[in-house]
Amino acid sequence: MAVGTIGISRRGALAGAGGLLMAAMLPRGRARAATRIVEDQTGPFAPNAFVRIAPDGSITLILPNVEMGQGIYTGEAMLIAEELDVGLDQIQIEPAPPDEAYVTKELGTEATGGSTSTIATWTSLREAGAVARTLLVRAAADRWVVDPASCQTGGGVVRHVPTGRTLTYGELAVEAAALPVPASPVALRDPSAFRLIGHAQHRLDGPAKVAGTATFGIDVQQPDMKIGTVAACPVMGGVLLHVDDSAARQVPGVRDVLTIGNAVCVVGDHYWAARKGLEALAISWDEGVNATVSTDTVYRELHEALQGPAIVAHTKGNAKGAIAGAATRVEAVYQQPLLAHAPMEPINCTVHVTPERCDVWVGTQVPMRARDAAAEVTGLPKEKVFLHNQYIGGGFGRRLEHEYVTQAVQFARQVGYPLKIVWSREEDLTMDRYRPAYVDHLVGGLDAHGNLVGLSHRIVGPAVVARWAPEALLPNGVDDDLLVATVETPYAIPAMFLDYARREAPGVVTAWWRGVGGTRGVFVIESFIDELAAKAKVDPVAFRRRMTTDHPRARAVLDLAAEKAEWGTKLPDGVGRGVALQYVFGSYLATVMEVEMSAMDTVRVRRAVVAVDCGRVVNPDQVISQIEGGLIFGLSAALFNEVTLEKGRVQEKNFNTYRILRMNESPAIEVHLIDSTEDPGGIGETGTAAAAAAVANAMAAATGRRYRRLPLTGPQA
Amino acid sequence: MLTLQVNGAAHQVDVPDDMPLLWVLRDVMGLPGTKFGCGIGQCGACTVHVDGKAVRACSLPVSLVGNRPVTTIEGLADDQVAAAVTKAWLDIDVVQCGYCQPGQIMAAVALLKGNLHPSDDEIDQAMSGNICRCGTYRRIRAAIRNVAGVV
């Protein structure tokens, strides 16, 4: 378990997500598997921040990443249970509280994102389980006065093999707690002996979720709790001038009308009273400087920056020279819109502030940040803020933000009762923090044989990292998230030049969105590779194949997807197949999408075939599930979604105008996993990253026309 | 004061006539299994049964419910079709975040009670009012087909 246990190569780190490269900027210890949190010698056995065993036999696993659908509670419990040698039916699970012990070097804070969870915990959680098991065995051996090597474990019991004597983990908890935690790393199981890892396990959260008993943040109930709903200034940066609440206070069930600098909250006995009260307010805002911003403003600024100065982010060889001397020059500009997260569970947060303490019940991807925000607003010390993390009804990056926690605490500190803030869907969509719009310009040169000899690429758009983790912005001013899938590709590209013109979006706050740089970059690169192949008059799979000589894992997924999708077989008129190949989050994916076009902008996605090599797999069926769901999430955006602004106001307010892909529009999906003994890659965002390019390439194949602007069913330049 | 028949029992509630059934269930009766998604009947997260039919509780004023029996996800326990549906959901691990799933299950149970062997088109028709942002559609469809095979 020496340095570098997690085993991410430089290449893996870069392609893994902005966050992984960020690791280099934020040196931190890995999750502290050896942190001892046991409080006294008679309490439960808690040799580290992830395992707690009580004398009554209860075994609790504390899981560092929050469950928002990705199956991480099950996967992380499998990692610990594998080495602790207990069954998944013997454990209870708990979300981690805000604590330094759960900070990973991948993200530099306690956070769930960037498809880093399994990568970050693959070793540390197995070690946590192994340390606990080692101490339990030692405690048993001490009691029996035998050699620990003569003991075995299984099902939460230590057994002395020669005599057959047994003790349960619970019976050993007090003695194990008194033993020193081993200073040097303990041995981990050989993968050939895995009982759980690599074998499909049912989701631990399944039964509660199908019974409707799982508690999401929005379901939190507290004694004497009241419910509030909010209207913030519809233009970002605007402030509240005046509110007339006389009519609102007449609405039956309305209890309070609260204000902060840029928002009003109506509190009622139930959401309906609060909502009716909010509608009865007469509010005047000072909308500020963003009141003239429109979508046109956003795109104009981006396109203008295709000319003029930019920061050189990456060079390899002499790309411009190679292109100038090439037989054929290929050029394209791609445009991607602002996107909302639109998770099914609208933003909510329940807060109870008293003079002594502050309790926050919320689903958050950033527990420490959320806690610190509450401490700052209330003036309480951090240890007096108690954050209770909840199941998240869809994250997709939205709950990497915590501004809604700040807002909820600002309102709740004005009242004595527990206050549950629930945003309407309209508030959720118009007050989101959005995936940025981007414009990319690519120029490629092909030699006489149709080989790519040089690629020149300019990216224009915001640097999300500059706000979210400013210390991780590269010294030259580049957001390394933009280099994902654009610099590190599965291809041998002899010469490359990439520069970046940073343009922050006016009128909105931009944020991480499922797939982050991978979603952005794969669309651009894989669309352009298709355009190059077309210009070279080479089949898109064959063109990619010959560029992947140095990347056998990439070639293997490409070949597998092509075979399973029957690539090359004849299709009816109006039907097309498209392929996308990617290496992001440390995983390889090849995706073949098949579409049927009844008009240039009327598309039905019939089938998606995905081949995946994500290294060692923890819970195979959940990997498949993430690819299926990630593809659907990406398809929804690629086909339909765009957030637009008029007079600084977001125009898409609910699911009637922000169209989500539905069951009748969703394709058949097949996912094929490649057996691999490489270290695990991330998987939760890979399907999303694949979707836009694969479907755009399929649409081009069906119609003979390129689709360079997202959403694909919107106007094309 | 209104009397509602919810999950087999009569409940008296003192709420405004225009209050959607969803909020009566969640905030007055303490039945949070039925979810709020959009408030305009576009997403299906709030699907319950009224008189055995799948309806969107966010858009149904409570005063229009009358004496008709209301069933929520919490009231499915003794139902044979519902038991088969939840088992089918668990067998193939349909759920991800799970937030839309009570609504999906209510829609699926209503479909299967009227038609135990729905075609793919009939499944699409019954289920396309329910959005899932996690994209579990393929598994929902498969689970419904599996129920049709066993009940």
Would the CB atoms of A661 and B136 count as touching at under 8 Å? no
> CA-to-CA distance for A276 and B59, rounded, in angstroms?
14
| Residue numbers of A between 627 and 656 with CB closer than 8 Å to B | 628-633, 636, 654-656
Which among A16, A30, A11 has a CA at the least distance from the CA of A114? A16
**Chain B interface test: which of A220, A663, A669 (most B C-beta within 10 Å):** A663
Quick: pLDDT tens for A92-113.
Answer: 999 999 999 999 988 989 999 9
C-alpha to C-alpha distances, A150 to A92, A142, A153, A159, A162, nearest whole angstrom: 29, 12, 10, 9, 7
- The interface predicted TM-score (ipTM) is 0.98
Measured in angstroms, the CA of A207 and the nearest CA of chain B are apart by 7
Beta bridge partners of B3: B12
> Residue A184: what pLDDT?
86
Q: Is A165 exposed, middle or buried (0-12, 13-18, 19+ CB in 10 A)?
A: middle
Among chain B residues, CA nearest to A656:
B42
pLDDT tens, chain B, 151 aa long:
999 999 999 999 999 999 999 999 999 999 999 999 999 999 999 999 999 999 999 999 999 999 999 999 999 988 999 999 999 999 999 999 999 999 999 999 999 999 999 999 999 999 999 999 999 999 999 999 999 877 6
Q: Which residue from B minimizes the CA distance to A620?
A: B93
Nearest CA in chain B to A340: B133
- From chain B, the residues in CB contact with A272 under 8 A are 15-16, 19-20, 23, 27
pLDDT at B151 (0 to 100) = 65
CB-based contact B23 A270, cutoff 8 Å: yes
Least confidently predicted of A11-20, A238-247, A441-450: A11-20
What is the domain partition of chain A in residue ranges? Answer: 10-208, 305-339+434-703
Are B33 and A632 inside 8 Å of each other by CB?
no
Assigned CATH class of A305-339+434-703 = alpha beta
Domains A10-208 and A305-339+434-703 share a fold: yes
Contact list in B for residue A395 (CB cut-off 8 A) is 97
pLDDT band at A213 (very low <50, low <70, confident <90, very high): very high
- The Cα-based distances of A198 to A203, A306, A545, A615, A677 in angstroms read 14, 47, 29, 11, 11
- Is residue A594 over pLDDT 60? yes
Residues of B in contact with A71 (CB under 8 A): 96
CB B40 to CB A655 under 8 A? yes
pLDDT tens sequence across A653-697: 999 999 999 999 999 999 999 999 999 999 999 999 999 999 999
Contacts of A632 in chain B (CB under 8 A): 132, 134-135, 137
Most B CBs within 10 A among A344, A361, A427, A609, hence the mutation to make, goes to A344
Contact yes or no for A344 and B35 at CB 8 A: yes
The verdict on a CB contact (< 8 Å) between B124 and A252 is: no
Q: How close, in Å, is residue A143 to chain B by CA atoms?
A: 43
User: Which A residues, 238 through 257, put their C-beta within 8 Å of a C-beta on chain B?
Assistant: 252-253
Size of interface A-B (CB pairs under 8 A): 182
pLDDT at A99: 95
Does the pLDDT at position A6 exceed 50? no
Beta strand A358-362 with A348-353 is antiparallel
* Interface contact B41, partner A, CB < 8 A: no
pLDDT given at position A17? 37
pLDDT digits (tens, 9 = 90+) for B60-102: 999 999 999 999 999 998 899 999 999 999 999 999 999 999 9
Residues A600-629 have a mean pLDDT of 97
Indicate if the pLDDT at residue A41 is higher than 60.
Answer: no
Q: Determine whether the interchain pair B30/A425 forms a contact, defined as Cβ–Cβ distance below 8 Å.
A: no
Angle among Cα A425, A428, A432 to the nearest 5 degrees reads 155
Residue-range domains of chain B with CATH: 2-74 (3.10.20.30), 80-150 (1.10.150.120)
**Chain B nearest-CA residue for A391:** B97
Residue A68 to residue B97, Cβ atoms within 8 A: yes
Please state which architecture CATH assigns to domain A10-208.
2-Layer Sandwich (3.30)
Contact B36 A663 (CB under 8 A): no
Amino acid (1-letter code) at residue A360: V
Contact A176, A136 (CB under 8 A): yes
Average pLDDT, chain A: 93
Quickly tell me which residue has 């394709």 as its tokens. Answer: A667
Location of structure tokens 């007449």: A250
CA nearest to B129 within chain A = A662
Q: Does B139 touch chain A (CB under 8 A)?
A: yes
Using CB atoms, which residue from B27, B96, B105 is nearest to A227?
B27
B2 CB neighbour count, 10 Å cutoff: 16
CB nearest to B97's CB, from A219, A344, A663: A344
Chain B residues with CB under 8 Å of A69 CB are: 95-98, 134
Instruction: State which residue of chain A sits closest to B22, comparing Cα positions.
Output: A272
Interchain pair A205, B19: CB under 8 A: no
CB contact under 8 A, B123 and A71: no
A437-to-A235, A297, A486, A637, A647 alpha-carbon distances in Å: 18, 11, 17, 13, 18
pLDDT computed for residue A601 by the predictor: 84
pLDDT digits (tens, 9 = 90+) for A272-297: 999 999 999 999 999 999 999 999 99
**A55-58: long-range contacts at Cβ-Cβ below 8 A with a sequence spacing of 24 or more?**
A55/A170, A55/A171, A55/A173, A55/A174, A56/A170, A57/A156, A57/A168, A57/A169, A57/A170, A57/A171, A58/A92, A58/A170
B120 close to A (CB below 8 A): no
CA distances from A686 to A302, A636, A668 (A): 27, 15, 18
Q: Is B134 in CB contact (< 8 Å) with chain A? A: yes
Q: CA–CA separation, B14 vs B20, rounded Å?
A: 13
> Residue A21 pLDDT more than 70?
no
Chain A CB contacts of B100 under 8 Å are: 344, 393
Judging contacts by C-beta atoms under 8 Å, the chain B residues touching residue A218 are 32, 35-36
Contact criterion met (CB < 8 Å) for A212 and B72: yes
Name which of A272, A423, A430 to mutate to probe chain B: the one with the most chain B Cβ atoms within 10 A of its Cβ.
Answer: A272
- Is A669 in Cβ contact with B40 (below 8 Å)? no
The answer to whether A344 contacts B72, with C-beta atoms less than 8 Å apart, is no
CB within 8 Å: A344 and B26: no
